[in-house]
Chain A
Amino acid sequence: MANENFPLIFERSKEGRVGYNLPALDVPEVNLEEEIGADFVRKVDANLPEVDELELMRHYTGLSNRNFGIHTGFYPLGSCTMKYNPVINEDVVRLPGFSHIHPYQDTRTIQGALELMYDLQVHLEEITGMDEITLQPAAGSQGEWTALMVFKAFHEANGESHRNEVIVPDSAHGTNPASAAIAGFKIVEVKSNDKGLVDVEDLKKVVNENTAALMLTNPNTLGLFETQILEMSEIIHEAGGKMYYDGANLNAIMGYARPGDMGFDAVHLNLHKTFTGPHGGGGPGSGPIGVTDELAAYLPKPVVVEKDGVYDLDYDRPESIGMVKNFYGNFGINVRSYTYIRTLGAEGLKKASELAVLNANYIMRSLQEKYELPFTQHCKHEFVISGNKQKALGIRTSDIAKRLMDFDIHPPTVYFPLIVDEALMIEPTETESKETLDHFIDTMLQIADEAENNPDIIHSAPHKTPVKRLDETRASRKPVFRWNKEEK
């Protein structure tokens, strides 16, 4: 890539160029301005680009060439489950019968869509061990908040509206406490022990009569299975609280264990992670939640129901917390996930988890001599190493991340979870071959060696990307969030 600014589409614009043809005005024209009044007619046109169709395609193709996707190369971004996004999903979702249907069509004219949603719910119920699923939440964070609102409604209905505390481990993703706060709860943190697991003794200390719920990811954000999960469920349930399962890491245990069997009362899933949504550059996602029978009445409405082979939307749910997203969730993502689940079935999903865990352990054991491994037990689908050894040599985790780019590898998640210094969170997923894993391992070992013998090459990385290291603080200190013509 030439060392010059890649143009913005606005900079490709030329007055008079046209990239569209609209249907003709085939009805008698009326004077709009006269009718609606001059005050309501826009004075200055929105300054959108004027480009022809080829220029538009070159622009976006150029942008895509400056981006990295899973089809490009290895993308071990921990906690994000960057597995292969099957291309059949993209074909299926574009069938006109799925893409060009309106949410307010008579339900008798969208039976295929409702059938798909219903059957997806049935499959997700079985995978999670929950009694009822709603597909409404748009993404994981909205699913978390929805489930917490369900808990809140449940406690209120039981005359326990004083329960205003949600317990969150110190290793939890920031979304957990944020969702709980938006739902009106106070956050109480529970510590991790030296094995990277929730400190059950500390949990006993923080639980009390105000406990509304414990939010837990299992395996947790360190990629470790919470072995005392049944004890924890018992502690929370005895105190009258509810157990919430953050499904971010479900990819580790499909077919091996189910949140419902661990004592969880509510679960959210990230269909864009575990079930190949896809990730879309940051969204759209889909974040269904599942609950036990005693909570089902509070789920958002409408609910897809089936009677004698006819599907319908049930709005008659008097105890429902209400709607949480317009219409019925991110249907387009749900279609893709359904296609994925039907491709693999029970056997394939279990095998996916088996290989995701095998791949993670293989990388972990191959790196543990050169990188600090804070928790040494077998991991599940991901693991966390620390860049502390390299930090002592003046190489930070962020430097390692930039150097990986030189080898066409997307860096892992860095500096998370917060309880590990210089953290690198690595999740290879099951869809990567041993050759790809070996390339990553060799690269990481080479970087560890460079940290000792050739640190300059790490400090000056990345070398192949279209831009060099970017000044991230400047973007926040002097915010420029849109293009301005005056600047040119």
Chain B
Amino acid sequence: MDFRYLPATEADKTQMLEKIGAKSTDELFSDIPEKVRLDRKLNLKEPTSEYELKKEMVAMAAKNANLQDYSSFLGAGVYDHFIPSVVDHVISRQEFYTSYTPYQPEMTQGELQAMFEFQTMVSEITGMPIVNSSLYDGGTAVVEAMYLSNVQTKKKKILVSEALHPEYRQLVKTASKGKGLEIVEIGLTDGKTDLAQLEKEIDEDTASVIVQYPNFLGQIEPLDKINALIKAQPKAMMIVSSNPLALGYLTPPSEFGADIVVGDTQVFGIPAQLGGPHCGYFATTDKLMRKVPGRFVGETVDQDGQRGYVLALQTREQHIRREKATSNITSNQALNAVASSAAMSALGKNGVKDMSKLNMQKARYTKQQLEEAGLPAAFSGSIFNEFVVKLSQPVKEVNEKLFDKGIVGGFDLGIVYPEFENHMLIATTEIRSKEEIDAFVKELGDINNG
């Protein structure tokens, strides 16, 4: 069988083996001890022609209900937003998607500059001066922030709000075991971090407090009050996980004294794609610059004094520091960072704010309409684009009924918060029309009363 990715002809092979001085390619594998040599063919599906494989993959993809065919009110950390067409055209350029880490800067100025621009955009949105060139995703960015707080403060106690994304909280727990960190979860009051408990738990052993803004339940956490409590312990650090789209309109965590702001730029130009790859960001203060995980792109000059970009502060990284590195992170999410940069560039200064406000307006309309349909919000505070309602029956069953009407319902909170059984977390983004919202409200109201 011929393979279209493998160019060697029999004549090529003969000539090359002659140069090598080997009789056959098998000879090149003779150093593999016979005992470990595989003496049979791998048992895999047979090679498939391009046409047949594409047909099969189209059929496999069609077995999934894709959000474009539904009205989705599902968020919970992954959102269905408008993606400008420019994004995919930019990241489909092979110079971006087939290249690798720009270790040879003269040949990879395009990638490096794109990363420098990403750092600048995230810096603008978060208000933090130092931003790296991306991490795997929002969850691992929180983990890296936790590590940094431990390295910086030499303390081991980490206070984590229960309103931090439940999966991020699981990652933090898994990761804490490696370094022997102590995780203390701070409970909720009316859908927000319980400040009284936070005040009680924070002490001189505390490395950091991790909160989410807006939080997992959609609520806008009072970062001013949280910061005041953290300030009582001079060493403890304030880590805020933040949806960057919300920061188009909301006061950024930097204004409330955050030490590290992390999150995911999936909201800008990255499709849900079953949860990954997305794109984590890591933003912090000048003081912590030299302890930041992952890659930085820095500005410099060439021999003629012309502006250029290179990977900077590489001496922090694992390939040089080995076991002394503060993080083992090697790759970043460069291609997705380019996608987010293209989306942020298309939206620009006004678009990010407009999109942020649209989310707030539409979510409020959904919330108010549901209230009129007998489904008031479970919590009293202000929201960004998500809120919680309590249903009369299990969310899973409600969602099955909604699905039959062409609607993907909200997140079943009871799965992760036993106290919120039958509670649904509902997201409304800018792409949901009034018509779709009205239909959702009607169906949900009918099911709930039915």
Contact = CB atoms under 8 A, between A and B. Distances in A.
A90 interface: yes
A481 B328 contact: no
Contact of B250 (A42, A183, A324): A42
B433 A26 contact: yes
Contact of B170 (A322, A362, A411, A469): A322
Interface string B283-298: 0000001000001111
Contacts of B116: 8, 481-483
Given A27-B434, A106-B400, A110-B65, A101 B53 contact: no
A331 to B, nearest CB: 4
B44 A346 contact: yes
Contact of A100 (B272, B302, B437): B272
Q: Give the most central of B46, B129, B173, B310: most A CB within 10 Å.
A: B310
Interface in A123-179: 123, 126-127, 138-142, 144-145, 149, 152, 173-175, 177-179
A141 B318 CA distance: 10
Interface stretch (B17-25, B154-162, B185-193, B201-209): B17-25
- Indicate the size class of the contact surface on chain B: 35 or more
Given A174-B319, A468-B302, A69 B95 contact: yes
Contact of A281 (B101, B320, B329, B344): B101
B412 to A, nearest CB: 8
Contacts of A106: 396, 399-400, 403
A361 B102 contact: no
Contacts of A119: 45
B274 A113 contact: yes
A434 B15 contact: yes
Contacts, number: 677
B199 interface: no
Contacts of A65: 95, 110
Interface residues of A, number: 202
Given A67-B109, A480-B299, A100 B104 contact: no
Nearest to A431: B5
A430 interface: yes
Contacts of B41: 255, 346-347, 350
B47 A101 contact: no
Contacts of B107: 67-68, 405, 410-411, 462, 465
A257 interface: yes
B198 interface: no
B8 A325 contact: no
B293 to A, nearest CB: 10
Contacts of B309: 470, 475
19 contacts: A9-B341, A19-B84, A40-B220, A42-B353, A95-B58, A116-B60, A139-B330, A256-B32, A300-B174, A328-B274, A331-B274, A332-B273, A342-B53, A344-B47, A346-B41, A348-B3, A348-B6, A355-B6, A378-B22
